[in-house]
Amino acid sequence: MSDTINVDGKEFAVDEEGYLANINDWVPGVADVMSKQDELELTDEHWDIIKFLREYYEEYQIAPAIRVLTKAVAKNLGKDKGNSKYLYGLFPYGPGKQACRYAGLPKPTGCV
Amino acid sequence: MSDIKKFMYLNRRAPYGTIYAWESLEVVLIGAAFDQEVSLMFADDGVYQLVKGCDTSESDMKNFMPTYRTLGDYGVRYMYVDQASLEARGLTADDLIEVAWEDWETEEEVDNIVEVVDSAKVTELMAESDVVFSF
């Protein structure tokens, strides 16, 4: 993967694993471009999770661990969405890694 | 599954200037995956880790103070603060952040798991822990 991604003609720096270098650079187009690279089409359900992750980071300054994400999604978006089956269905590479990357967040703490 | 052990993370250093506070916090976050009974103890300059309103914007350091407020979600049930350390620094419980805790299954809620304890209680809590990680 290159060290920048091009979103609407603007270059965004990313780290060696493809995570956005600066979380404050994020615009929704970042998620569009990254998901295209993964050949994944983003739906409203994907955006709910991406938005949720951004809000979580804004409040706590970390990307949530998967079980914390699952529990928090269950609480805020409903139990039918707050389970790993649903989240892996949306983000097959792992909701922690993949959704956080789309959201411009760093890789979750403790995630390998 | 192995038996549940009582883990205590002892934090005795100021939040910035060294890496100890951040390292401790990261270990707590990662260790949450192991389903142990976790408590944190803040003593000496470690009490500064919980002081409200910390602003790191001019120091070029990431402000990780907001992260303490999510620890309840990471299986941390108790956050103790040594009273003598607080008093020696002219601080009171009112200067500290509050951290909520909720059991997601039983929906049992605690508004604030930060508790100021006296020296005798600190000794007792450390003695009854199976493991103490000192940072």
Domain boundaries, chain B: 6-134
A111 a catalytic residue: yes
What's the pTM value of the predicted model, to 2 decimals?
A: 0.86
Q: Are B42 and A36 in contact (CB under 8 A)?
A: no
pLDDT tens sequence across B93-121: 999 999 999 887 788 899 999 999 999 99
User: CB B29 to CB A59 under 8 A?
Assistant: no
- Any idea what DSSP says for residue B92? -
Closest approach of A36 to chain B, Cα-based (Å): 31
The chain A residue lying nearest B30, using CA atoms, is A110
Give the CATH H-level superfamily of domain B6-134.
DsrEFH-like (3.40.1260.10)
Question: What's the whole-number mean pLDDT along residues B15-27?
Answer: 92
Whole-angstrom distance, CA of residue B79 vs CA of residue B121: 13
- pLDDT means per 10 residues, chain A with 112 residues, are 82 91 92 93 94 94 88 88 90 90 85 52
pLDDT tens sequence across B24-61: 999 999 888 788 889 999 999 999 999 998 888 888 78
Residue carrying the six token digits 């939040």: B15
Ordered by start, the domain boundaries in chain A are 4-102
Strand B109-110 with B101-102, pairing: antiparallel
B87-B91-B97-B103 Cα dihedral, nearest 10 degrees: 20
Helix axes A44-60, A28-37, angle to 10 degrees: 120
Whole-angstrom distance, CA of residue A75 vs CA of residue B72: 15
Closest residue to B66, CB basis, from A60, A74, A110: A60
Whole-angstrom distance, CA of residue B20 vs CA of residue B24: 6
Report domain A4-102's class. Answer: mainly alpha
List alpha helices for chain A, DSSP H: 28-37, 44-60, 66-77, 84-90, 100-102
